[in-house]
Amino acid sequence: MIDKLKKILINLPGWRTNSKVIVIESDDWGSIRSSSNKALEDLKNSGIKVDNCSYMQNDAIASNEDLELLFNILAKKNTPKITANFLTSNPDFNKIKESGFNRYYSESILETVKRYPKHDNAKNLWLEGKNQGFFYPQLHGREHLNIPRWLQDLKDGNEETLLAFKHKMFGVSAHIVQKRRASYQAALDGNFSVDLHDKKSIIKEAVQEFNQIFGFKPESFIAPNYIWDSLVEKALAQEKVMFLQGTHIQRLPRGLGEKLQYRRHALGDVNEYDQKYLVRNAFFEPSSNKDKDWVDSCLSEIKIAFLMRKPAIISSHRVNFVGFLNQKNRDQNLKLFEELIKRINKNWPGVHYLTTAELTKLIG
């Protein structure tokens, strides 16, 4: 009852609609996570608790087969559209190593996929999904990486970070390593503004790279790890990105050891730059907990959203749809995804499936 009350309170304030609308927002597309099962085994043997992190075990750049199987579901009648939030770059590991870890270099995700063994058609599939209207890219950032934090640990000789680097990885979760550190995944965390790593430059380059890859500029942005500040909002506004995805809680950047601070948002709230906040109010994340009934849980959250005359904005990360590392992860989750769609259509005939961009036009 307490959990249900919390969900009702999240949906209480903000913009409303009489239409039954479902939006699925999916983060992390394009970003490196785990590069191979061999790399995972090496990390595990070194003492990194890989088995304690579902992202480390299952998340990777989506292969051709991953995309094709997902698209086979999305292309059917009465199925959702996925808003795929992309990172546009990853580290260029070779150049960074050549610099002695003194400088950061990035590479486009178009270059990254060329180095993976089953990903040669990834860009064509992304664009096919976009053109078909069921896989619509939006912006998640330039890379899912806190550059100053990561680069400093590499220069300081952090053995776990260097081992991951050897396998062309950076996203080893902070809670599974032996040496205590902050998250590398929180790209915009901290109060940094140093040379080429300042937040304004990162946002500007991300928008430019997104336009080069997909042929249009993004309408919305979701900050890695839900951490961002007004500097990021201002930089996005200057690039005409006027909608901010997230949950009802915004986590503010902080320095090491500082207390975490929050801001609360309701759907449709407007900031000083006339940007509007979007609030996720349902979750379908079966990779994170195999023991939870994610279909029933998500349906319950959708029901509450509709009762409160809100669109159901569902969070479902890329990890739920990929099997490059673990085929079982993908196959099980796609079955659950199809079951969720089936029950949505049964419970709410005529439901409207929209992309985030389509929702922004509805909100106005």
d(CA 28, CA 36): 17
The model's pLDDT over 70-96, given as tens digits with 9 standing for 90+, comes to: 999 999 999 999 999 999 999 999 999
Phi first, then psi, for residue 90 (nearest 5°) are: -135, 165
Split into its structural domains, the chain has a count of 1
Question: How much is the average pLDDT of 45-57?
Answer: 97
Question: CATH number, domain at 329?
Answer: 3.20.20.370
- Expressed as residue numbers, the domain containing 131 is 2-363
Pairing of strands 249-251, 262-264: antiparallel
pLDDT bucket at 190, cuts 50 / 70 / 90 = confident
pLDDT bucket at 192, cuts 50 / 70 / 90 = low
Phi first, then psi, for residue 31 (nearest 5°) are: -85, 145
pTM of the model: 0.97
Question: How much is the average pLDDT of 283-288?
Answer: 98
d(CA 145, CA 280): 23
pLDDT bucket at 1, cuts 50 / 70 / 90 = confident
Looking at every residue in the chain, the average pLDDT score rounds to: 96
